[in-house]
């Protein structure tokens, strides 16, 4: 027997999901019948129903807005960690020597950095040749 081809990932509007959830709540048809009628997977429909119950306060869990906020915060955290990593690798102390991990490199070998103190933090400008990047 051959394997079934995986279904391509589709996206649905919140309005469509709400309509499907409402059909499930009416109880006229089973979740399986509704999924089949709309060419959806039962798992997806059940997840939509569960999420609608969480959003309505009928069930414990993260609401849709909390899930979205959490995803945004995870992306921001990842970006900030990357920025910190870049700054650790490029920042020089006042003598022009590298100040990480106890090793030293001449300032000519590394990119020139300029640290400017600002009211809301430190801004580091990294100049490599003619290309300038700022990190806050």
**Could you list the mean pLDDT of each consecutive 10-residue stretch along the chain, which spans 136 residues?**
79 95 94 96 95 92 91 94 81 55 46 49 61 62
pLDDT of residue 7: 76
Angle at 76 between CA 73 and CA 82, to 5 degrees: 145
pLDDT of residue 105: 47
Confirm whether 48 is domain-assigned: yes
Confirm whether 77 is domain-assigned: no
The answer to whether 135 and 87 have CB atoms below 8 angstroms apart is: yes
Confirm whether 44 is domain-assigned: yes
Confirm whether 26 is domain-assigned: yes
Could you tell me the residue range of the domain that residue 32 belongs to? 14-61
Confirm whether 69 is domain-assigned: no
Clarify whether residues 91 and 55 are in a common domain: no
pLDDT of residue 98: 56
Angle at 63 between CA 60 and CA 64, to 5 degrees: 150
Confirm whether 70 is domain-assigned: no
């Amino acid at each position: 027997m051959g394997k079934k081809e995986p279904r391509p990932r589709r996206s649905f509007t919140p309005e469509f999901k709400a309509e499907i959830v409402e059909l499930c709540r009416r109880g006229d048809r089973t979740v399986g019948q509704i999924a089949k009628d709309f060419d959806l997977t039962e798992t997806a429909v059940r997840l939509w129903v569960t999420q609608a119950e969480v959003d309505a306060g009928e069930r414990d869990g993260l609401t849709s807005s909390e899930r979205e906020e959490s995803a945004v915060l995870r992306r921001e955290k990842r970006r900030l960690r990357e920025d910190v990593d870049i700054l650790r690798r490029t920042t020089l102390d006042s003598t022009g020597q590298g100040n990480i991990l106890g090793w030293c490199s001449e300032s000519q070998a590394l990119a020139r950095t300029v640290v400017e103190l600002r009211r809301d933090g430190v801004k580091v400008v990294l100049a490599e040749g003619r290309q300038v990047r700022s990190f806050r």
